[in-house]
Structure 1
Amino acid sequence: MERGGRLGYRPALDGLRGVAVLLVLAQHANVPFFAQGGTVGVTLFFVLSGFLITSILRDERATTGRTDFRGFYLRRARRLLPALALLLVGVTAYLLASGQSLVDVLLTAAYASNLAGASGHNLGNLVHTWTLSLEEQFYLLWPLLLPVVARRRRPALVLAVVAALVVAWRVVLSMSGASVERIYFGPDTRADAIVIGCALAFALASIPARHLRLAAAVSAAVLAGLCAAPPESALAWLLPPITLASLVVVAHAARSAPKLLTWRPLVATGRISYGLYLWSFPVALSVESRDLPLWVSAPTIAAVSVALALASWFVIERPFQRRPVKAAVDPVDPVDPVDPVDPGEVVPLTSKALPAR
């Protein structure tokens, strides 16, 4: 942490975004041993999102004594809406040309795709936007709830308890026979990673950096192993270790800036991670429909996705970000949802698209 408690811009956190989105891309492209790469990548994005957004809001209140809601929401809109609008225009054109319904586009535009997915609706090319919906719901609620939580004696502990309750609720639903879609997409069953990231923003300064290095190495190994878990893995039991390991990795990246995560190509990948996330899934569906061998399809998916993400970054995203927004504080670079991710549903739309219960 910088003096005064402010986080400041950390290239390692962009590097971590780069790792997360590459894991998502690997699963989209059906790369061997990455059957759960997207699940790990999205969870990393969620933890990072909760941590950074909470840091932004806390720094602003510490500096000005208030939260600039208008500035916060305007920055989020400028960061996220233009690139999403471009994707929706492309998908709309495809659906109209093929005579299909625009319901999925409307659900995505309303940030309700996670609710639709939890009810069993398949959003096709836009199924991965469920994470954007969860993030947007977080953005809407958390700035209002944060002052209440921050007044608690131990806000990090309060948030950790909330995250534990989400995990317990997910297990209860799973054991009671709830559908995989209900568990996978539900905001009440997937909020734990974001909430634990919020808790980290309160607790990071009290965590000795020297204790994080070994824990982060072990956590990274755990995440690497869980990436290779079979697609039918039970989600209720797979997510807790992924979330805890992601928490440790994010904490280490924020405190110590590991050299690997500050590698320039990885940081650059993190900078375009939002566009890469948005485009990789529909690109993967399109390429896979041509029944190409893996050694052709995987590089094609990667190349086309990166090209579209770069175009999105330079033509759409960056110009909007450069427009000044009057705000008290914006101490860290805006987080990408997957922003994760920020951070979406990260597996092909087949019968194996969701983990089994």
Structure 2
Amino acid sequence: MNPGRPFEPPSQPRTQRTAKTTARPASARLPSLTGLRFAAAGAVVYTHARLLVSPHLVGTFGPEVWVSMSSVSLFFILSGYLLTHSARPTDTAWTFWRRRAAKILPNHVFTWCVAVAVLVGAGGVAAISGAGAAALVANLLLVNTWIPSSRFVFAGNPVSWSLAAEMFFYLLFPVLLPRVERLSRRGLLIGSAMAIAVVWTWPVLCGFVINPAGAFFPGYWFLYVLPVTRLPEFLLGMMVARLSMTGGRLPRVGAVPAGLSAVGMVVFSGDHLSHTFMYAAVNVVPLALLVHATARLDLEGKPSLLRARPVVFLGEISYAMYLVHALVLTAAFVCLTDRGWSRGAAVVVALPLVPLASWLLYVTVERPCMRQFATARRCHTREPSNK
């Protein structure tokens, strides 16, 4: 792949590519998917707030935990779908990577600095020396999740672990997109089925090879954190997007039934399946159908609550919300409980601070950096964000 040329398979000259395989319809905006991002981010905020109120739920593998983990899977599928739907025919790898870096890195670096400052201020100087310093640097560079160590995975701003997976996806996207575009509708269906099968295979492989003893961390790292393990979910989102763009047939499931089925799988499957299948496998199909059905609401002009202006606004700041919520909740919770507040009251007071801090991060860091660095020209084209 030549990073300076438009996305295309290196083995096939551009002149030999047919219109059928290269056509990218003009990207319609999908505000309902922006609203869906807020729903996913809101679920993560809810889970972490719930765990602050009831810390005994940590490690119990209850619905509160699986809701958050399913939301991360939804983010990965959404990312593949939106990047494929909004891909520009004239994009080069460099321009794509520049836009993604301008979107992801400023918020990450800012919240990383805040997390380290809080750590130092709380007397955690020992935690940033030796191996602790290496873990923090690895988190800053978004390579920490490639290392099977809890010290590395949870370093810095712990929720930023998912960005390491996203950056891995972005690195591969200019290579993956032309190959996905060349697939026929049948090929896309087969590819989607293969991606789903791989997601279901990971827990089996983990149980027999990676973590036969059944300890928590090796399995958690391999199934939930390791970027290459999460790649099939991103690929599934890409192929579902291409099926939608080329008129491929998918089950006609409405957004509401798909969402309810995803929630139902979380609530009812935990008692019947090993927790290793709950990280991603159990919900991969309902979530893919949810993304497809939600996008169809916009593409077909159907009514959508997720398209309401307040929900879309919250979706716009959802990336900032994802990165900042744990810092805000924890800081407010510690300050208030140290002054005698109950856990529940402290969380109730802290929750409204999350969207406020998210908006401030969005308007002071994320949006200005996107305007400044996302494009090389003064003429800026608004791109659907997808994290």
TM class, shorter-length:
0.7 to 0.9
Hey, what's the Cα distance between the residues in 2 that align with 1:16 and 1:9?
Answer: 14
Hey, what's the Cα distance between the residues in 2 that align with 1:222 and 1:240?
Answer: 14
Q: Return the match for 1:170 from 198, 203, 211.
A: 203
- TM-score (norm: length of structure 2): 0.75
User: Over alpha carbons, which structure has the higher Rg?
Assistant: 2
Hey, what's the Cα distance between the residues in 1 that align with 2:139 and 2:155?
Answer: 11
- Name the aligned partner's letter for residue 342 of structure 2: P
2:259 alignment partner in structure 1: 220
- Name the aligned partner's letter for residue 263 of structure 1: A
Deviation at 1:176, TM superposition (A): 4.3
Question: Does the Cα contact within 8 Å between 1:157 and 1:199 map onto a contact in 2?
Answer: no
Deviation at 1:305, TM superposition (A): 1.9
1:41 alignment partner in structure 2: 71
Hey, what's the Cα distance between the residues in 1 that align with 2:188 and 2:376?
Answer: 29
- Structure 2 stretches lacking a partner, 5+ long: 1-22, 55-62, 212-217
Deviation at 1:227, TM superposition (A): 4.8
2:385 alignment partner in structure 1: 334
Mapping 1:21-170, distance limit 5 Å? 21-30=41-50, 34-57=64-87, 60-61=88-89, 64=90, 67-97=91-121, 98=123, 99=125, 100-101=127-128, 102-116=133-147, 118-121=148-151, 122-124=153-155, 126-153=157-184, 154-170=187-203
Deviation at 1:139, TM superposition (A): 0.2
Question: CA separation of 1:166/1:127 partners in 2, compared to 1, >3 Å: closer, same or farther?
Answer: same
For 1:229-270, what per-residue CA distance to the aligned partner results, in whole angstroms no more than 9, with x for missing partners? Answer: 669961324522312111111111111135211122221111
For 1:125-156, what per-residue CA distance to the aligned partner results, in whole angstroms no more than 9, with x for missing partners? Answer: 52221110000000001212322343344245
- Name the aligned partner's letter for residue 169 of structure 1: W
Q: Does 1:256 align with 2:305?
A: no
Q: Return the match for 2:318 from 264, 269, 273.
A: 273
Hey, what's the Cα distance between the residues in 2 that align with 1:316 and 1:196?
Answer: 31
2:242 alignment partner in structure 1: 202
Deviation at 1:315, TM superposition (A): 0.8
SS of alignment partner, residue 50 of structure 2: coil
Question: Does the Cα contact within 8 Å between 1:24 and 1:277 map onto a contact in 2?
Answer: yes
- Name the aligned partner's letter for residue 188 of structure 1: V
- Which stretch shows the higher mean deviation, 152-161 or 194-203? 152-161
- Between 1 and 2, higher relative CO (CA 8 Å, sep ≥ 6) is seen in 1
1:344 alignment partner in structure 2: none
For 1:148-201, what per-residue CA distance to the aligned partner results, in whole angstroms no more than 9, with x for missing partners? Answer: 343344245335414422431332213446133232212233223212101111
Hey, what's the Cα distance between the residues in 2 that align with 1:47 and 1:286?
Answer: 31
RMSD, aligned CA: 3.0
Hey, what's the Cα distance between the residues in 1 that align with 2:155 and 2:171?
Answer: 26
Question: Does the Cα contact within 8 Å between 1:159 and 1:198 map onto a contact in 2?
Answer: no
Hey, what's the Cα distance between the residues in 1 that align with 2:350 and 2:292?
Answer: 32
- Name the aligned partner's letter for residue 242 of structure 2: F
For 1:18-51, what per-residue CA distance to the aligned partner results, in whole angstroms no more than 9, with x for missing partners? Answer: 1111101100101786332211211111111011
- TM-score (norm: length of structure 1): 0.80
Hey, what's the Cα distance between the residues in 1 that align with 2:333 and 2:78?
Answer: 31
The sequence identity of aligned pairs, in percent, is 23
Hey, what's the Cα distance between the residues in 1 that align with 2:382 and 2:249?
Answer: 23
- Structure 1 stretches lacking a partner, 5+ long: 337-357
